[in-house]
Structure 1
Amino acid sequence: MSTDFRITVPAEHPALPGHFPGRPIVPGVLLLDAVLQAVAAAEPGRGRPSLVARAKFPAPVAPGEGVVVTLAPRGTHRVGFTCRCGSTTVLLGELGWPAPP
C-alpha cells in the first residue's frame, strides 16, 4: 500500500483566520484529517484508524502549499505516514486499528 496522495489547504479555508495573525499556518488537525482521508481511500471498507500511535510536526505548512501524503503499511494493524512540502517533512507518524479480540 505504499501510496502517495496530494493535498492543498487553500488560503480561504475557514480554519486559517487567527492561526496565526501575520503568519498563517495550516492547523495540524487539518493535516491529520488529510492523512485519515488518504488511508480511507487506500484501504476502502476497512474504516478509519482509531489510534494515533504517534504524530510529529517538524515544520509548518503555509496556506496554498502542496503537501504529499505517503502511506506505508506497518504490519496488519498499523500504517505509517509522512507528509512533505517539497523536500521538507512537515508531519510523520503512525496510525492503527484495534486488533480483533
Structure 2
Amino acid sequence: MPTPQTILRATDLRFPADHPTAAGHFPGNPVIPGAVLLDAALTAIAGAEGRDLGPCRLRSAKFLRPVRPGDRLRIEWQPTSAGEIAFTGSVEGRPVMSGRVAP
C-alpha cells in the first residue's frame, strides 16, 4: 500500500508600508522584526488549520533575510512525522525564514 503524501499548505501575508514596527527597526532602513514575522506566521498557520497553536514549543527558527514593509511574505507549512509543523517563509521566491513548532 502506498504511503500518503503530506500536502504542503500555504498562505500569503503582506506587511503594510506603514507597519508600526518599521519606524523603530531601523530608521532609514526599515525591517519587520523577527518576532513579528514569527507571530504572523504562527497566527496564519493556526487560522488556516482552524486550531490554536498556543501555547506551543518553538523547536527552531531561522531568519535568513530581512523582510521590509510592503513585502508579501509567502508562508508554507506541513506536518512532520514527529507531530510538529515545519514552516518556511519567502519573499519573491527568496527564503527569508524557516522553523518548526510543536503544538
TM-score, normalization by structure 2: 0.85
Matched, 1:7 2:13: yes
Identity %: 34
Q: Give unmatched runs, 5+ long, in structure 1.
A: none
Aligned to 1:55: 61
Aligned to 2:74: 68
Which residue, out of 56, 80, 86, partners 1:80?
Answer: 86
Tell which deviates more after alignment, 68-77 or 53-62. 68-77
Q: Give unmatched runs, 5+ long, in structure 2.
A: 1-6
1:4-39 Cα deviation digits (max 9, x unpaired): 110011121211112001100011111111211122
Moved over 6 A (4+): none
Task: Please give the alpha-carbon distance, in whole angstroms, between the structure 2 residues aligned to 1:40 and 1:2.
Answer: 15
Task: Please give the alpha-carbon distance, in whole angstroms, between the structure 1 residues aligned to 2:69 and 2:37.
Answer: 12
Aligned to 2:28: 22
Task: Give 1:72's aligned amino acid.
Answer: Q
Task: Please give the alpha-carbon distance, in whole angstroms, between the structure 2 residues aligned to 1:29 and 1:5.
Answer: 18
TM-score, normalization by structure 1: 0.86
Higher normalized helix content (fraction of residues): 2
Number of equivalenced pairs:
96
Local SS of the residue matching 1:15: helix
1:32-79 Cα deviation digits (max 9, x unpaired): 11211122123213x214111000001001110111000111125300
Local SS of the residue matching 1:16: helix
